[in-house]
Chain A
């Protein structure tokens, strides 16, 4: 919402400065977005008179002036064609900043002659568009006074209006708030009533009185729409960014912004039969003044003649029956439409207009006739013509229900002490009718306010005018010792993030959306969770996995030359469209080398065991059973079938890990291998309460442990984990650790076999092992591995 100072003063009698007005607007909830005040940049600029004007000796268009600033006479070189002796203009002395160029003026030397300042054009001062010559002020203008005092400068305010304050979409509403806040007096609104001299030839009938309780039509004949809109109106409209179109359009626009009163004007000669205000028929055609065609439904309110819907009531006029330059006879509409009907239709057909914007928020239901009178007077004044009697359908009798306010609620809800008489004063100034009933105030809101429904609304009106800054700030009372802020599940997500970052991975946050063309690989159910209205084609699906977005991110980093990428994200993946059909996942990918080349070597390509280690670390950080989970080889199909695995507890999948499938990487345009993991945090069992638990007692043996190595030849398809498990199980009490330190296939081994070498730690409990006891333990291992895996000791 924009308006100029002079426009505001049309409604508000005030001596407040621009800054005071701006500060008050923001304080009462009409937030100032910008004040454009050219005067603020004119400090130092004064009026000055040209005492002498001769041609520059070395130029055929430059003048050499003696400029009298009231304090001194200065030599100035001037190129303006309109400069003459005795011209009074605006003088910029050396040192000021010229607003239009935003540069400091210095002593110039033009074709050998020094110039000590300049006379300015409107454009140079940012107060107008004229740059054909310098400003020339009337001869009686005093010399040496500040420019801002003599120039017609009208600062422009831009404020943002919240949806509840529809009346402030008109300048008068803003003025009323400022007056109530103590910034001046609201001037009475004097609208000239025009008495019609003949009966309206256009009959009007309202069929749907629910949707349109009041409809007024005023026929005016013999208007001249080619007349010039007055300069004051044009200037105000231009200041708020509206171009002058024709007087009829300008008048309706002006009243829209002056009183927040939308109007519409039909070319009455184009109307056939009378007007009927009714719901459209299903599929009925309407062509808007923007030329768009709509098939309406039976909830759309139409202003119709015999030809059909000519105006979508309260939203937008039609193409056919609007005014043009040749329009002579008009019908002026001013009506009250139910906001919910306007909102429904506007939303349904997605039509945006100033009219809809106001009508769906709130337009004073009792302002139809006044608005019509105001427009009629302006039209007659500008375009001439003769007005018929106004046709009014329905009654302007809106009255809102009284709302109760217990005066103490201002204190108990808002924390602000305001005496009752002050509460009454504020509400009255805002237009409320306030009456006292027992200990309660009953307030009837003014008809221009559609937003007052309950006690809290009235409390807001009071504190808004008193100023929120007056409410004391009281720290939250600590009623009891606080509970743990994060739940165990929330807490472990934090720990997992820190663990993965500590492992050298970079945490990223990517969209919850992804590209459905790439997401297909990752969907676990057949259904894609697609958005009805994605912001971009490649962000059209709620991601079924975090991985596609990590791959897109990795691809961009690789394209920039990153030889090593380790990214992870903790966030949701979606498996259905209903609320809650999502899981929290910690997912990561690694690509390329562990590091760049180093003088000591040691760099290597990331492989599946990095992803497995990440997955195990994340499960462990989430306090999950990382050491007892099984590893199976049935990872989803977007993983490499032979280089991937699943960490699970029976049916419950804790994590997947592995190299990603080459065809997936191809779709992402990534060359080389990428390993990935996904840890399903929601699937990791939460500890059953930690309260009062202590750790298992630490049993330390005083006896030296013994490390022994054994290698087994087993079938090629025997998983290493079963060899390790068999070895561990051979003597759970004394075998405390089993490591795989070599895996070998090839020469010296039979076809279809491989060798797995184990490092075993034997820990005595009662006394140091003898050689015989160690031998016995090794025999147990050989026996158990043989039994479980058919493995034989490699000689």
Chain B
């Protein structure tokens, strides 16, 4: 009969040689199962005399423990091998591209709208709106542009027949500027007034810098003490925040708008390179907006006493701001719905504009 040592050696060898979990289990059952060889020997202990029983039992327990430990150890080894084999099998080419996701874009005009709102909001302005189709009173007459005013000819106005009058002079117009919102605001609100009015505007013109529809933002401040010095401060603060440069050269030129007096145009300094425009310094000037102190006749037309109140107004082209800030060369492309253009010049939807968090992340560049 096989002695305990030989048995242990054989079992341990068999365990170590088990090629997989199944073979290991068979070996375990053959040794430790109900009819296993160790179990059988345990059963045989009862027949032995008491003095031998203790010693033999001790030996058998040692054997059993050794076998159990060996099985456990081999099991761990085999499981590790098995896991490694599975992992090796599961490996995939992670250089493959991800599932397609489409990230949309916000149009530059909307982005500029949000930037402008953020900046003027900081200065206490509210956003006002008005209709795209206007009557001539709000678009012209109330703004000190009576029917035969030369400035009125310069605006290339689109007309819409008045359904209630066949007379051409009663025609409605598609607003030529956002300035009628000045009048509508004055009609509905008592001073102090601080509003901006962004929106669509229309003139019959078409080239690289003129389109029949474009966007303006109007500004209007009315109270008892606002002067041209505030106008200059307000606009300087605006351009500096908008172009995100600390030092920006500006100059004001006297100009003429029927609805402001004195009137001015604001230029900003820039450097024109071959394919690049650097805003802020340099020896070139870029015309950027028109402004002035609200004409007393305009205040009166809006129902505000010009002897008591005064203030300033300005108008900026939103598209023009977008072209300058984001280097877009041709205005016409804004309105062509070309997906390649929208993807390139558009803004990622989560890039919100604020003065607390900045107007844009990373200059609004998309991934």
Contact = CB atoms under 8 A, between A and B. Distances in A.
Do A and B bind?
yes
Interface of A: 26-29, 31, 162-165, 339-340, 343-344, 347, 360-361, 411-416, 454-457, 459-460, 463-464, 468-469, 471-480, 482-487, 490, 494, 497-513, 527, 529-535, 539, 542, 549-550, 552-554, 556-557, 560, 562, 564-567, 570-572, 574, 576-582, 594-596, 598-600, 602-603
B261 A530 contact: no
B262 A414 contact: yes
B176 to A, nearest CB: 13
A126 B120 CA distance: 49
A593 B173 CA distance: 42
B228 interface: yes
Interface of B: 96-97, 99-107, 109-110, 114, 117-118, 120-127, 129, 131-135, 138, 147-151, 153-154, 158-163, 168, 171-172, 174, 192, 194, 200, 202, 204-206, 212-213, 221, 227-230, 232-234, 236-237, 251-256, 261-265, 293, 295-297, 310, 334-340, 342-343, 346, 348-350, 352
Contacts of B228: 413-416, 463, 468, 471
For the complex of A and B, list the 8 residue pairs with the smallest distance between their C-beta atoms, beginning with the closest: A553-B337, A415-B229, A29-B254, A485-B121, A162-B256, A460-B262, A504-B102, A343-B148
24 contacts: A460-B263, A464-B262, A469-B251, A473-B233, A474-B232, A475-B233, A476-B124, A479-B124, A483-B124, A498-B106, A498-B349, A500-B104, A501-B346, A502-B350, A504-B101, A506-B104, A507-B107, A511-B212, A531-B159, A533-B204, A542-B160, A567-B339, A580-B133, A596-B100
B337 A510 contact: yes
B335 A28 contact: no
B347 to A, nearest CB: 8
A579 B131 contact: yes
A553 B230 CA distance: 44
A560 B338 CA distance: 9
A511 B214 CA distance: 9
A164 to B, nearest CB: 5
Given A460-B261, A598-B100, 4 more contacts: A468-B252, A501-B105, A542-B160, A574-B132
A553 B346 CA distance: 16
A472 B296 CA distance: 23
A602 B261 contact: no
B233 A557 contact: no
B201 to A, nearest CB: 10
Contacts of A414: 227-229, 262, 293
A472 B131 contact: no
A603 B118 CA distance: 39
B296 A566 contact: no
Contacts, number: 290
Contact of A501 (B149, B205, B349): B349
Contacts of B163: 527, 576-578
Contact of A542 (B133, B252, B340): B133
A66 to B, nearest CB: 41
A588 B139 CA distance: 31
A413 B159 CA distance: 36
Nearest to B152: A347
B295 to A, nearest CB: 7
B336 A534 contact: no
Question: In this complex, which of B129, B293, B340 has the most chain A Cβ atoms within 10 angstroms of its Cβ?
Answer: B293
B339 A506 contact: yes
Nearest to A344: B148
Nearest to A415: B229
A468 B103 contact: no
Contacts of B107: 507-509
A148 to B, nearest CB: 22
A427 B163 CA distance: 49
A427 B296 CA distance: 21
B124 A598 contact: no
A512 B175 CA distance: 12
Contacts of A497: 106, 110, 349
A577 B261 contact: no
A535 B135 CA distance: 20
Nearest to A572: B132
Contacts of A562: 339
B159 to A, nearest CB: 4
Given A533-B159, A557-B337, A482 B123 contact: yes
A535 B233 CA distance: 39
